[in-house]
Amino acid sequence: MSENSFSMPLEGIVPPLVTPLIDDQTLDLEALKELVDRMLEAGVHGLFVLGTTGECTSLSYSLRRQLIEEVCGMVQGRVPVLVGITDTAPDESVALTDFAKRVGAAAVVAAPPYYFGLSQPELVTYFERLADRLSLPLFLYNMPSHTKTMISVETVVALSRHPNIVGFKDSSANGGYLHALIYAFRDRPEFSIFVGPEEMMASSVLMGAHGGVSGGANIFPKLYVDLYHAAKANDKESIVTLQAKVMEISAKIYALGTYGSSYLKGLKGAMSLLGLCQNVLAAPHTAFGEADMEKLKRNLESIEGV
């Protein structure tokens, strides 16, 4: 696969890459390379940088550009690199896309602008105008808990007619909505539909989704790749076994405390305990304290067979 190219529909496990940090202004390049190599060796089908898991909104633009360039250089076109460009200023999204294209990214991903909520007609106008200006294909990103805006099924269908809008990632965790979306595209298999919540990935693929953007693949990449392949093959026995492990990870790593960022604190905390990256979150967020890390350590040690 060459840089800036990929076959549609994109399918499989496309992990939302954690951003390994030494501090707010410094990437941990050694950890980043080990993380990328580890996921590629496990057979992931793409990488998504600057998503929610990558702390996209907390990173400076200079750091975002460095991250994109480093990851594309490490991947060398072996899988597509998708880049998050969500912003409240369209010009920033366009500029980051142009940079990503120059260094070898294959596509970009954008959620609705946050702060002021947008109506569905405004979303259509916004994304159509943005897609017109982008130098890479665009995946839409539904993240209503963070943007205050739900992209309706009808809006996705309307936007899918734009030649530069090629897919959709749903992180609403709304099963009925996702099934309605899959049904709406039952005769459009070339339009990729990905699910964010990894707890729903296997069932979504069974229903016709193309894959998952599974944060846990930063820690256990082979587990999620194996679960995806089991779902594609309708291997129910394997699905049941692997899905139970995914649910255990969710309960023991992502659900500690009542923080809005519990998922991220748990994920990076677990990765630090496994020696995969430092336990550093970009401001304004902070890592788990000592008590929570002790709980996390016990929980992580109790997860077997991954």
Q: Cα–Cα distance between 31 and 255 in angstroms, integer?
A: 25
The region, left, alpha or beta by phi > 0 then psi within -120 to 50, assigned to residue 183 is alpha
- Out of 101, 149, 155, 169, the active site residue is 169
Which residues does 156 contact at the CB level (< 8 Å), separation at least 6?
140, 142, 168, 181, 184
Q: Cα–Cα distance between 20 and 205 in angstroms, integer?
A: 29
Q: Is 212:226 a contact under the CB 8 Å cutoff?
A: no
Both tokens of 58, joined, read: 């907390």
Both tokens of 39, joined, read: 């996921």
- 277-303 in b/e form (b: 16+ CB < 10 A) is bbbbbbeeeebbeeebbeebeebbeeb
- Does residue 169 have an active-site annotation? yes
Q: Determine the 3-state secondary structure of 104 from DSSP.
A: coil
Q: Cα–Cα distance between 86 and 65 in angstroms, integer?
A: 14
Q: DSSP per residue over 153-179, as a string? A: HHHHHHHTTSTTEEEEEE-S--HHHHH
- Does residue 101 have an active-site annotation? no
- Out of 19, 97, 101, 141, the active site residue is 141
Closest listed residue to residue 93, CA positions, set 46, 48, 53, 57 = 57
Q: Cα–Cα distance between 16 and 204 in angstroms, integer?
A: 18
- Does residue 33 have an active-site annotation? no
User: Which residue numbers are catalytic?
Assistant: 52, 115, 141, 169
